[in-house]
Structure 1
C-alpha cells in the first residue's frame, strides 16, 4: 500500500483535489488498492478552499509513514504564506517520505521550508518571477509542466498537477497503467514534465469544433505531408471553407498553423533528448534536418541544436 498525503491550507486551490483522481483511477486500472489517499491540514477538520467550499481533513500528527506528500498551493502565495506549523512539519517530515511535491504554487510552501534550495523547480508561470526574486537559490524553470529533482517534484499551474500525478503513477506502475489512467480521465495525451506550459493549440485558440478537430487531426499526423485538402477531408468540409475558417479564427493560413504545431512538436522532442535531429525532423513532418533548422530559426530565432548541450 502506497500512502499519499494531500496537504491543504486555508483557501487552497480547489483544483488541487483533482490530483487524487489520478491515484483513484490507478487503483481501478490495476484492480487493487495500491494507493490510499488522505487529506491533511495543520489542525485537521474543515478547511475552506479558494472557491469557498469546505473540505474535511485530518490533522498533521501523522502516525503512519507517508510515501508521497502533495502540497497544494493557493491563488495568492505572497499574500497567504504557509504557517509556521506547516513549515515546521515539512522540514521535519517531508524528506522522510519517498517523494514530496508542490502542486502549482505549492512550490512556494516547499520553498519556505527550504526544500527547493539548490534544486530545479517550476510553478505557475504567473508566479515564477516572484519565486526567482524571493528564492534566488532555486533554479526556477518557468516554462515546464513539472520537474523532478531527486525526490522533490514541482508542477506548473492547476491541471499540470494531473500530469505530475500521472508521472508518479508511471514511475510506480509503468507506462501502460499511466496511459490507461489518462484514457479514463479523458485526457488528450499525457504530457511529460519536459513540455512547455504554453501550448500552440491554446495560442491558435480555435473556437469552432470543426477547426479544433482539424487541428487535432494535424497534431496526430504531423509525420505526414498534411495538405489543406487532407485536413478538409478529415473534417468533411471543402478546402476553401476550411481555409476561411483558419483565417477567421486563428488569423493564420492552414500551412502556418501546421508549421507552428510542427515546431512545437520538434522542440519538445529535442528537449527530451532521446532522438537524433534527423529522426525528429522526419517525425515532425519537415522535409529533412536542414528544413527543420530553417523553420526553427524563422520561428524561434535559434537553431534546434542550441536546445541541446553537447548534442547534435
Structure 2
C-alpha cells in the first residue's frame, strides 16, 4: 500500500499524516466473490484521494487474516492479506466478504476476531453471503439481514425462523450492515463514504465507476419477484434462466430443453411449486423487471419494453394495465411521488 501523505513544517520536520476519516478492514471467506470485494474497495479508493491517485488519505482499507496465506476467490484469483488480525477497534467497520455457500467460510480464529469486534462495538458488515457467516457466528440475533434474492431460499433452509430482506439493496440495522453483493456492495460503500467523508466524494467514486447514482438502502434489488419463492431446485433453475434471458423471451420448450427435462415435467413442477404455468411465471418475472426499471430514472418506456421482453410498447402497456390497473407511466409517477421526501 502507498504510504500516507505527510506534511512538512518550515524546519522540514515531518508531521504525522491525518487519520483517515473511514477505516475499513476486510475478512475474505474461502471462495469469496471477487466482484463484491472489488466494488467495495474501489469506492473507498476513489474517495480517498483527489483525482484518481489512490492514496489512502481520507479512507484506508486493509485485508486482514489469521495468517499471510492468500485467499482464493470463487473465480480462482487469490488475494493476499496485508495485516494480522490484531485489535479490531483500529477499524471503523469490519467487512466480511462471502462467496460460495457450500465452500465459503472463515477459520475459527477469524470468527473469534469478529466476536471481539462485536464486543468492542465495531460495526460489522456482511457482503454477499457474508451475512450467512455472521449468522453462523451468532452475531445477527435480533438484527434485520439483507441477502440476495438468489440466496433467499438458501438462507431460509439454513436459519429456521429467520426471514431475510431480499427486496432491498442493503440493510443497516444499528451496528450491523448487510448487502446482497455484486454492484450493491458499491452502493453500501458509497453510503459509508457519504457518512464519513462527504456526499461529493461518494458521488465521485460512483461516477468514475460508471454508476449513474447512489442507490439508497430501501431501493429494490433487481431480480425475481418474492412471491415466486420455492425450494424446488428445478423450478428455481427455470426461474433463474427466465430472469437471465428476458430480452430473448425463450419458450417453455426451450427452457425445458436447457434444463434437460421434458416440457411436461417442467410444467408439472411449476404448477406444484408455484401454482402457475411456466408462461405465467415468466410474465411475473418480466413485469417485476419492468417495475424495477420504471422505478429508476433515465429509462424510457420503449426501452423498458424491450429490456423486459415485451414485443413493443403497446404490448407492455396492455399487459401492465391488466396486472397493475394502470399504465407504466402512471405507475412511475405514482411511485416517484411516494418516494419523494416530505
Q: TM-score, normalised by structure 2?
A: 0.61
Structure 2 spans left out of the alignment, 5+ residues: 1-19, 225-242, 249-292, 321-326
Pair 98,253 (structure 1): closer, same or farther in 2 beyond 3 Å = same
Pair 8,50 (structure 1): closer, same or farther in 2 beyond 3 Å = same
Aligned residue number for residue 22 of structure 1: 43
Aligned residue number for residue 6 of structure 1: 26
Are the equivalent residues in 1 in contact too, given 2:68–2:80 (CA < 8 A)?
Answer: yes
Q: Does 1:72 align with 2:97?
A: yes
- Tell me the secondary structure at the aligned position of residue 48 of structure 2: helix
Kindly report structure 1 stretches of 4+ aligned residues shifted beyond 6 Å: none
Are the equivalent residues in 2 in contact too, given 1:107–1:123 (CA < 8 A)?
Answer: yes
What does residue range 55-94 of structure 1 map to in structure 2 within 5 Å? 55-58=79-82, 60-63=84-87, 65-76=90-101, 78-94=102-118
Match of 1:183 among 207, 224, 233: 207
- Tell me the secondary structure at the aligned position of residue 28 of structure 1: coil
Alignment partners' CA distance in 2, 1:263 and 1:204: 25
Pair 103,174 (structure 1): closer, same or farther in 2 beyond 3 Å = same
- Tell me the secondary structure at the aligned position of residue 170 of structure 1: helix
Q: CA deviation at 1:52?
A: 1.2
Q: CA deviation at 1:94?
A: 3.7
Structure 1 spans left out of the alignment, 5+ residues: 208-215, 232-244, 276-312
Q: CA deviation at 1:186?
A: 0.8
Q: Which has the larger radius of gyration?
A: 2
Are the equivalent residues in 1 in contact too, given 2:66–2:84 (CA < 8 A)?
Answer: yes
Are the equivalent residues in 2 in contact too, given 1:40–1:60 (CA < 8 A)?
Answer: yes
Aligned residue number for residue 126 of structure 1: 150
Q: Does 1:194 align with 2:215?
A: no
Q: CA deviation at 1:220?
A: 3.6
Q: Deviations over 1:53-82 (max 9, x none)?
A: 221103543246111111000122x44343
What does residue range 141-220 of structure 1 map to in structure 2 within 5 Å? 141-198=165-222, 205=246, 220=297
Are the equivalent residues in 2 in contact too, given 1:246–1:254 (CA < 8 A)?
Answer: yes
Aligned residue number for residue 250 of structure 1: 309
Q: Deviations over 1:73-111 (max 9, x none)?
A: 0122x4434332222221112452542111110101111
Q: CA deviation at 1:22?
A: 0.4
Match of 2:66 among 42, 45, 64: 42
Pair 199,113 (structure 1): closer, same or farther in 2 beyond 3 Å = closer
Q: Across the two proteins, how many residue pairs are aligned to each other?
A: 247
Aligned residue number for residue 234 of structure 2: none
Alignment partners' CA distance in 2, 1:249 and 1:160: 21
- Tell me the secondary structure at the aligned position of residue 49 of structure 2: helix
Are the equivalent residues in 2 in contact too, given 1:9–1:41 (CA < 8 A)?
Answer: no
Supply the RMSD in Å over aligned alpha carbons: 3.6
